[in-house]
């Protein structure tokens, strides 16, 4: 007899709700704990998981296997071609192993909830107890309500209520007890061979070339120890100034832990607790403004998950705002390719897009500029951009990505108003004033001095000559024209005069 913990997007040993409870039960029963991880390439295809993210997950699984082994806990890794068979596989393995209890942390996308629902039934039919827990959000979805008993659709009151709830329920932020070591002898018994199982290969369509892989390994060391050390560095060196520095891509001033939150090598709960603990107030508010501001960014993650649980149609290619369904989008392949390849002639947009191709990451301000540009300047269907981000980001996460796209394109929950059309040049002059980020990524403009780097052809003179000589494209669309066209198209779509 044993207890199983099924790892999904919670690839860590510490501060893991379901794992901790699975271990508690195993200990009470005097039996062992087995970890299970299932890779379904079909799942990765269907959910557009990017190759860098697949690679990161597998690297993290390898580390998880070793960390669990230190506690005598085996991790069995299984590759399953058809994702619809996941629930059957879990039950089959439980039967083979004589397991009566399966634990896991919940995921909130409709496909995942349907899968878990199937698992509840299949387990019941086979007299196995299925024990799912809330863990991914700091405050579980469905907990917070507006004064009229509704789900929040506006962030600021959500955040106030989120903070008040956590102050009233400090247990939600408490670290979950780590799993206990397995009983002696478990390592040598019938599950011994799991300790030496090789981590599966990244499936063909998701593979990346070795040079890119090496770069990603260096930029984003996998596993929970790497996550905590990155977070600790941020908390000691950077968080204090975060409020003032967070919008400037060249400053490298954010935590860059989204990859860990997405893979679950770091719990959002751990992040917020550790940030709270470095605040002089030991609270989520008051004290240092940088800390409060950072915690409120992590809370956006909860917000978008709560929204997804309450309005799951957003996972079905529908805009959150129903009245934005009828906007007439364009589908120009030339414009889309220019955007993805960073050849729009808007240096800040191009720098952002070239950065994501090379590092699988993009700074939040640049995500906003790039998203606004494709939807509002090019009028391309924002879902093309949403998908492109998912297939390229190492931190791709449905709820946060969809939420971010909805925000920038005015179609989502608590969005920018539709008539706010970012001027990429002004954004660039404000958030990359010295052009440091642009020069790093747009090599054609590396020698342009001064402010001409933001818009070389408009500046003229030497800036334009360098841009021309180096083959930097002219703006793909004229800003004033694009802005007016965008307002017309949005107004038409949503039926406003």
Two tokens, residue 296:
């409120």
| 269 annotated as belonging to a binding site for a ligand | no
Nearer to ligand FAD, 40 or 296 (CB): 296
| 441 annotated as belonging to a binding site for a ligand | no
Question: Is 300 among the catalytic positions?
Answer: yes
Closest by Cα among 6, 40, 68 to 195: 68
Distance in angstroms between the alpha carbons of the first and the last residue of the chain: 68
Question: Is 339 among the catalytic positions?
Answer: no
Are 325 and 274 in contact, with CB atoms under 8 Å apart?
A: no
CA dihedral (405, 406, 408, 413) in degrees, to 10, reads: -140
Per the residue annotation, which of 78, 85, 175, 364 is the catalytic one?
364
| 286 annotated as belonging to a binding site for a ligand | no
Least distance (Å) from ligand FAD to the CB of residue 56?
13
Question: Is 382 among the catalytic positions?
Answer: yes
Least distance (Å) from ligand FAD to the CB of residue 323?
21
Helix (H) or strand (E) holding 215: helix 210-219
Query: 129 pairs with which residues across the strands?
Result: 101
Residue of this chain nearest to ligand FAD (CB atom): 404
- Residues numbered 285 to 324 that lie near ligand FAD (CB under 6 A) are 297-298, 300-301, 304
Nearer to ligand FAD, 5 or 246 (CB): 246
- Residues numbered 360 to 419 that lie near ligand FAD (CB under 6 A) are 363-364, 367-368, 371, 389, 393, 395-397, 400-401, 403-405, 408
Q: What DSSP string describes 375-438?
A: IIIS-B-HHHHHHHHHHH-TT--HHHHHHHHHHHHT-SSS---TT----HHHHHHHHSTT-HHH
Are 41 and 203 in contact, with CB atoms under 8 Å apart?
A: yes
- Only segment of 180-188, 255-263, 279-287, 466-474 that touches ligand FAD (CB under 6 A): 255-263
- Only segment of 118-126, 251-259, 333-341, 347-355 that touches ligand FAD (CB under 6 A): 251-259
Per the residue annotation, which of 162, 300, 339, 441 is the catalytic one?
300
Question: Is 478 among the catalytic positions?
Answer: no
Please give the backbone phi and psi of residue 88, each rounded to the nearest 5 degrees, phi first. -65, -40
Gap between the Cα atoms of 455 and 463, Å rounded: 8
**Binding-site positions for FAD:** 242, 254-258, 294, 297-304, 395-397
Q: Which residues are catalytic?
A: 297, 300, 329, 364, 382, 405
Interface ranges with ligand FAD (CB under 6 A): 246, 254-258, 261-262, 297-298, 300-301, 304, 363-364, 367-368, 371, 389, 393, 395-397, 400-401, 403-405, 408
């Amino acid at each position: 007899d044993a207890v199983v913990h099924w790892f999904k997007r919670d690839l860590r040993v510490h501060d893991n709700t379901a794992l901790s409870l699975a271990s508690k039960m195993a200990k009470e029963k005097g039996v062992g704990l087995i970890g299970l991880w299932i890779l379904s390439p079909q799942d990765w295809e269907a959910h557009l998981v990017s190759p860098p993210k697949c690679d990161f997950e597998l690297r993290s699984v390898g580390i998880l296997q070793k960390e669990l082994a230190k506690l005598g806990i085996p991790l069995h890794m299984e590759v399953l071609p058809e994702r619809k068979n996941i629930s059957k596989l879990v039950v089959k393995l439980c039967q083979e192993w004589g397991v009566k209890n399966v634990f896991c942390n919940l995921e909130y996308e409709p496909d995942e909830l349907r899968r878990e629902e199937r698992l509840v039934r299949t387990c019941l039919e086979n007299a196995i107890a299925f024990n799912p827990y809330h863990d991914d959000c700091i405050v579980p979805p469905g907990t917070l309500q507006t004064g009229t008993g509704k789900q929040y659709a506006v962030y600021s009151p959500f955040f106030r209520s989120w903070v008040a709830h956590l102050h009233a329920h400090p247990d939600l932020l408490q670290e979950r007890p780590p799993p206990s070591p397995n009983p002696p002898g478990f390592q040598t018994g019938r599950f011994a061979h799991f300790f030496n199982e090789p981590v599966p290969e990244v499936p063909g369509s998701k593979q990346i070339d070795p040079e890119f892989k090496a770069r990603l390994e260096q930029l984003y060391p996998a596993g929970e120890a790497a996550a905590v050390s990155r977070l600790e560095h941020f908390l000691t060196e950077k968080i204090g100034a975060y409020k003032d520095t967070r919008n400037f891509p060249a400053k490298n001033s954010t935590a860059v832990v989204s990859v860990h939150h997405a893979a679950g090598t770091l719990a959002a709960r751990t992040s917020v607790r550790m940030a709270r603990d470095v605040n002089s107030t030991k609270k989520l508010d008051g004290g240092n403004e940088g800390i409060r501001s950072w915690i409120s960014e992590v809370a956006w993650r909860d917000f978008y998950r709560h929204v997804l649980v309450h309005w799951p149609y957003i996972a079905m290619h529908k805009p959150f705002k129903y009245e934005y369904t009828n906007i007439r989008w364009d589908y120009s392949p030339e414009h889309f390719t220019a955007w993805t390849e960073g050849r729009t002639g808007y240096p800040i947009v191009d720098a952002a897009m070239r950065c994501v191709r090379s590092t699988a990451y993009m700074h939040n301000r640049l995500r906003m500029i790039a998203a606004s540009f494709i939807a509002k300047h090019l009028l391309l269907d924002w879902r093309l951009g949403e998908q492109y981000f998912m297939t390229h980001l190492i931190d791709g996460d449905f709820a946060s990505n969809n939420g971010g796209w909805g925000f920038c394109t005015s179609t989502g929950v608590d969005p920018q108003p539709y008539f706010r059309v970012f001027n990429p040049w002004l954004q660039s002059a404000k958030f990359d004033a010295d052009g440091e980020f642009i020069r790093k990524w747009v090599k054609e403009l590396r020698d342009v001095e001064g402010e001409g780097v933001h818009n070389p052809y408009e500046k003229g003179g030497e800036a334009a000559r360098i841009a021309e000589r180096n083959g930097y494209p002219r703006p793909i669309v004229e800003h004033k024209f694009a802005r007016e066209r965008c307002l017309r198209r949005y107004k038409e779509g949503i039926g406003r005069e």
